[in-house]
Amino acid sequence: MNTMFDLQRYALQELKDTYNEHEIKSLCTLIFCKMLHYTNIEIHLKKHEFLAKSFIDKFCGIVAELKTDKPIQYILGETEFAGVDFQLNSDTLIPRPETEELVMWMTESGLESGMKVLDVGTGSGCIIVSLGKLVKGLQLYGVDISPEAVRQASDNARQNGVEVEFGVRDIMHYEEWEWARFDVIVSNPPYVRESEKALMHDRVLNYEPGRALFVSDDDPLLFYRKIAAFGLRYLKPEGLLFFEINEAFGKETVQLLRDMGYREVELRRDINERERMVKAKKGS
């Protein structure tokens, strides 16, 4: 077992009860790309070349962790989002493709240099740092209840050359702090109902931070209501509010925002035709 070809065969055998064949091959490619710094073409051309024992040992260790259902992003400690590399830790969610779509929607919505943008529940900082890479000159802010998430987000901003002011703050008690006034507020808050846990993979339940995922069935729009109320106080006139949402509550989230006085409330579907994003504008 000395080559990438051998290692992939080993992984296919070891992980056959955890992943399907396509997933295993994709995982192997990701590991080779990240750890050997190979392109897909180089992986193909060098698949029969001998590898260092140190790498083979690391690969086998990764396979052992994958057998426990630990996500590859946490094993490697990083992931790619909107073309940007982000480091992760156990207090940060793995960014999803639909969140990338939310970021792209924001960039298409008239963001301009000098605007102040706040990311509530910033996690790894993937939203706010990506925005900083895509739209130059924004004044960027991010808050999270988790000190470890804020530390990781700060590291990600620094490594990607984006200036963001981060802080440890609980948006549910935003009255305890002084805030600037913002042109844009974005949030991907906890929105998975506790009752939906039964539908979720152990890969998520056992490793991703539950505090960033779950909300009570009794009040599934709790965070949206609180952040929208915060926006009424701290968004500038005509300021924009963006949310990633639970697809089961698209119409309810839209109605909540309209009832609170927001206008031009727009519900958008993701690439899989699920209602996953909302944009709203504060009145004058």
- pLDDT single digits (tens) 77-111: 999 999 999 999 989 999 999 999 999 999 999 99
Alpha-carbon gap, residue 234 to 134, rounded angstroms: 24
Q: Model confidence over 239-256: pLDDT tens digits?
A: 999 999 999 999 999 999
What pLDDT, on a 0 to 100 scale, did the predictor assign at position 258? 97
Residue 284 predicted with pLDDT over 80? no
Convert the chain into a string of H (helix), E (strand) and C (coil).
CCCHHHHHHHHHHHCCCCCCHHHHHHHHHHHHHHHHCCCHHHHHHCCCCCCCHHHHHHHHHHHHHHCCCCCHHHHHCEEEECCEEEECCCCCCCCCHHHHHHHHHHHCCCCCCCCEEEEECCCCCHHHHHHHHHCCCCEEEEEECCHHHHHHHHHHHHHCCCCEEEEECCHHHHHHCCCCCEEEEEECCCCEEHHHHHHCCHHHHCCCCHHHCEECCCCCCHHHHHHHHHHHHHEEEEEEEEEECCHHHHHHHHHHHHHCCCEEEEEEECCCCCEEEEEEECCC
Percent of the chain at pLDDT exceeding 70? 100
What pLDDT, on a 0 to 100 scale, did the predictor assign at position 73? 95
Q: What sign has the CA pseudo-torsion 174, 280, 165, 214?
A: positive
Alpha-carbon gap, residue 61 to 194, rounded angstroms: 33
Q: Model confidence over 191-236: pLDDT tens digits?
A: 998 999 888 888 888 889 988 889 998 999 999 999 999 999 999 9
Report the chain's mean pLDDT, rounded to a whole number. 95
Backbone angles phi, psi at 96, to 5 degrees: -105, 155
Percent of the chain at pLDDT exceeding 90? 89
> Distance from CA of residue 191 to its chain's centroid?
13
Close Cβ partners of 101 (under 8 Å, ≥ 6 residues apart): 270, 271, 276, 277
CA distances to 1, 6, 33 from 13, rounded to whole Å, are 13, 11, 21
Lowest mean pLDDT among 113-117, 193-197, 276-280: 193-197
Given pLDDT bands bounded at 50, 70 and 90, which one contains residue 26?
Answer: very high
159: tokens are 């490594």
Q: What is the pTM of this model?
A: 0.92
